Structure 1
């Protein structure tokens, strides 16, 4: 499943008036460039990096966003909401375990494709009030998915909501190390983790990706 991003709604200037068409085009250009740079390189890039990728001067960014944190908030409030919706969708699955697997897999895909989202959501040191509020909404949504599977008896009862971000951080580390040789290696390790989380199974789940060869391992990023 690939993530889909859509343009942000038109912004207004300090007086509340809609931005001129050229100013709004520049704003959307900056947001698109920031999404791409954050996804590839993480949150610790500079506004100069984003301006270069957008093909605008850094002053153009400062006319739209006071600092990097405002830009982070403009992008990731919506991205975190998408993860919340994935959790809510999981709760509609008839089988609670299938819902949990769907959520872990879909969220894992988002985190694998977007390093910035991993850092904003899982590390939690970036973004302002809107992003913090979105994180606060996500925790009970994840907890509902876990508790439903535990009541069903398919998820071990010693798993807590705080385990989810740590599992995704581990998968993110595997993604960063192996992405040069395989974009989907995280799926192998998620399958292993899910087998460990399940209370019982007749046999091990087939792994969706083969292990790295020694040559691939040696080529993987340190």
Structure 2
């Protein structure tokens, strides 16, 4: 008796509605992370997406990993901007251009503020990209200082503080006066001019890299 060969069934692609649901969840999570940062629950993501909580848990089982996935393009963009600044022939203007670009992203994106202040669990991707940025940002600053465009007592560890201050201003006042961060940034950037060194001494020593690293370490 001849036995007919069994043809394996083709692997089914995910149903289109499942794909749509996942995309709705990603879009909703992206919006909420920008608005409120890491302190967003899966239930809130479900509500924003207009889906049931059970649907969320079928597609997303790790909020930290989800945030890491959504932050990847944002952080890659930061690296691209920093490399663009280093490619320019005018290190002073290039540094201030980069600082403003970073300030804008931190001011308008709560998730970026959380990254800056290490409020996000140390996901490998976030940790890697943050580590890649550190030497590039330091190089941009040192080049600007060597060109006489930035006060020489500014330390690379001061940069996260400056950006965090800009973000805090927009977080507190942006609801009633959107764009306040830009006014504050202009005042802040002016304080970095070399001429300020002679009139405003920095009495407190800058943080060390180890101290900054403690922010990223789980308690």
TM-score (norm 2): 0.78
Q: Structure 2: how far apart are the matches of 1:97 and 1:144?
A: 12
> Displacement, 1:111?
1.3
> Displacement, 1:138?
1.3
The alignment partner of 2:39 has SS state of coil
> Displacement, 1:123?
2.4
> Displacement, 1:171?
0.9
Q: Structure 1: how far apart are the matches of 2:14 and 2:193?
A: 52
Q: Partner of 1:134 in structure 2?
A: 129
Q: Which has the higher contact order (CA 8 A, sep 6+)?
A: 2
> Displacement, 1:165?
1.0
Paired residues for 1:201-216 under 5 Å: none
Structure 1: state its 5+ residue gaps: 1-16, 202-222
Are residue 91 (structure 1) and residue 86 (structure 2) matched? yes
> Displacement, 1:148?
1.1
- For the Cα contact (< 8 Å) 2:108–2:170, is it kept in 1? no
Residues 24, 121 of structure 1: alpha-carbon distance in 2 compared, 3 angstrom cutoff: farther
Are residue 36 (structure 1) and residue 36 (structure 2) matched? no
Are residue 149 (structure 1) and residue 144 (structure 2) matched? yes
The alignment partner of 1:197 has SS state of coil
> Displacement, 1:119?
0.7
CA root-mean-square deviation: 1.9
Q: Partner of 2:183 in structure 1?
A: 188
Q: Partner of 1:4 in structure 2?
A: none
> Displacement, 1:167?
0.8
Q: Partner of 1:105 in structure 2?
A: 100
- For the Cα contact (< 8 Å) 1:154–1:200, is it kept in 2? no
> Displacement, 1:62?
2.0
Structure 2: state its 5+ residue gaps: 1-11, 197-219
TM-score (norm 1): 0.77
Deviations along 1:92-123, whole A, 9 cap, x unmatched? Answer: 23211111111111111111211112112332
User: How many residue pairs align between the two structures?
Assistant: 185
Q: Partner of 1:213 in structure 2?
A: none
Deviations along 1:65-85, whole A, 9 cap, x unmatched? Answer: 222111111101221111111
> Displacement, 1:129?
0.8
> Displacement, 1:164?
1.1
